[in-house]
Amino acid sequence: MTGTDLRLFGAIHADKREKVADELDEFAEGVDALFVEYPAEGTGPRPFARMWLRSPLVALGFALVTLAHLPLYAICQRSPFPAELIAARELAQERDLPLHPVDADHPVAAFGDASRSMTAVNWILFALLVAYAPVGTLATAAVLVGSVLALGLLYRVIPRVWPVLAVVGCLATLWALIFASWTSGVAAVVGLLFALVAIYATLGDRNETMLSHIERISNEHGYRDACLTTGKAHLSGLRESAESYDVRVTAEHDPRWLRYASEADDETNESETTEKQYDREPSVLQDRVHATIADWVLLLVGAPILAFVTALAFYFVATSALPVSGVSSGSETGFRAAAGLFFVLLVLVPVVYRTVAEARFGRTLGKRFFHVEVTKADGSACGWRSALLRNLVRPLDYVGGFLLLLWRSDRRRRLGDLVAGTMVVRAESVDTGADAK
């Protein structure tokens, strides 16, 4: 038979580097070469600058995504590079294996070489943002560029201290983007949306490009058994697309965050009861944590903007259009009322968002992305009452009982789940019927 046997090593980009290295060492035993999901030029200053010149709006959002990820990278692998890339480089050096980056359509590379029409669209939209908020938009871009470049330089100069600096620097930058008066939240959100759409819309093209490069390089060098390290999100697409190339997927590694996949599989196999479908399964708990983080990132960006826009509209209406309301007795009074509304909305928006999403669809956007959902203890749809109860009790989880209950309760349920009689399950394992309402 001709062709190349390809092993797909899926990974979560922010993970324990020692764990990922051990798993890759075992998984890639006996391969002829290693391929990595990474652009040949890397994502350093030059590719990043080219991306800003050709696609400024996407680059602005991509920088924000990078800064949101870096604290996890710093904590988990003490490096700004994905865990699987670090592991692949170390393994290639240890075994003297060829290492080939094959992600030529990585967002930094792809949008750094964007077409003229794409470049024109980016610059027109970026110019509109500048016209809307000149100082805020330019300040936001400067903060993002400066933060990314500064953290990259600090890693080269003082790598041992970099993890601490990265966490502090990223959180300070994100705080400035959300709360500082001289930055533009609108520019940050618009850029973020464009970047997220670009990242997820190009997954299929990136899979095709990686497989095409693997096929070509393997034929040139005569590789018969190779391993590709890639993000978990690429696994299913690569498996399906491989049929169109002279490549056979012979093995696949499904990662577990912060835990060895073998340990998670052993724990699952030990339990023969239906509880293994619920949040007692390690992978469900991990995906639940991921979903919570994703929702908080969304809320940290969206809630302040929504609250600010609503409070601003209230201020103008109350102080000019409704003089008889009593609120417009002075701009100072109107400002105080608007400020109070702003802080009230900061509290209410997360509760309303989670309650509506879980009652109507069984899951928030974060849970939808990580394939988990909320149901009642008997497996039926969550419902409005249960969704409201579990989210009203949520603040009490943050005082210390959250982790204890997750690990000690019968189905690893937090306090809100116990009060509301709900639990978090695999989305594909239970039909809640919520979407049919």
The verdict on 209 and 303 lying in the same domain is no
The verdict on 168 and 131 lying in the same domain is yes
Cα-atom radius of gyration of the chain, to the nearest Å?
24
Task: Output phi, psi for 230, to 5 deg.
Answer: -155, 165
The verdict on 182 and 291 lying in the same domain is no
How many Å apart are CA 32 and CA 57, to the nearest integer? Answer: 41
For residues 174-197, one letter each, b for 16 or more C-beta atoms within 10 angstroms of the residue's C-beta and e for the rest, the string is bebbbeeeebbbbbbbbbbebbee
Q: Which amino acid is at 283?
A: S
The verdict on 84 and 165 lying in the same domain is yes
The verdict on 162 and 116 lying in the same domain is yes
The verdict on 188 and 281 lying in the same domain is no
Domain end point (choices 222, 253, 284): 253
User: For 399-437, what is each residue's pLDDT tens digit?
Assistant: 444 444 444 444 556 666 766 778 888 875 444 344 433
User: For 24-66, what is each residue's pLDDT tens digit?
Assistant: 999 999 999 999 999 887 777 888 889 999 999 999 999 998 9
pLDDT at 415: 61
pLDDT at 328: 42
* 261 within some domain: no
pLDDT at 2: 67
Number of domains, the chain: 2
pTM of the model as a whole: 0.62
* 262 within some domain: no
The verdict on 179 and 288 lying in the same domain is no
The verdict on 12 and 57 lying in the same domain is yes
* 269 within some domain: no
pLDDT at 61: 92
Q: How far is CA 393 from CA 88, 361, 379, in A?
A: 44, 20, 21
pLDDT at 324: 45
- With a cut of 90, say whether residue 287 has pLDDT above it: no
- What H or E segment, with its residue span, contains residue 310? helix 282-316
pLDDT at 177: 85
> Mean pLDDT over all residues of the chain?
82
How many Å apart are CA 164 and CA 168, to the nearest integer? Answer: 6
The verdict on 385 and 316 lying in the same domain is yes
The verdict on 116 and 246 lying in the same domain is yes
pLDDT at 264: 52
- With a cut of 60, say whether residue 268 has pLDDT above it: no
The verdict on 325 and 356 lying in the same domain is yes
Domain end point (choices 202, 220, 253): 253
The verdict on 40 and 154 lying in the same domain is yes
* 67 within some domain: yes
Please state the rounded mean pLDDT for residues 84-94: 96
pLDDT at 391: 83
What domain range is 35 assigned to? 4-253
Please state the rounded mean pLDDT for residues 81-94: 95
Contacts of 418 (CB under 8 A, 6+ apart): 405, 409
- With a cut of 50, say whether residue 278 has pLDDT above it: no
pLDDT at 388: 86
Assign 422 to helix, strand or coil.
strand
pLDDT at 153: 92
* 152 within some domain: yes
* 260 within some domain: no
Domain end point (choices 253, 287, 322): 253
* 267 within some domain: no
Q: How far is CA 82 from CA 6, 73, 196, 255, 315, in A?
A: 21, 7, 18, 14, 46
- Least confident segment among 252-261, 373-382, 390-399, 424-433: 424-433
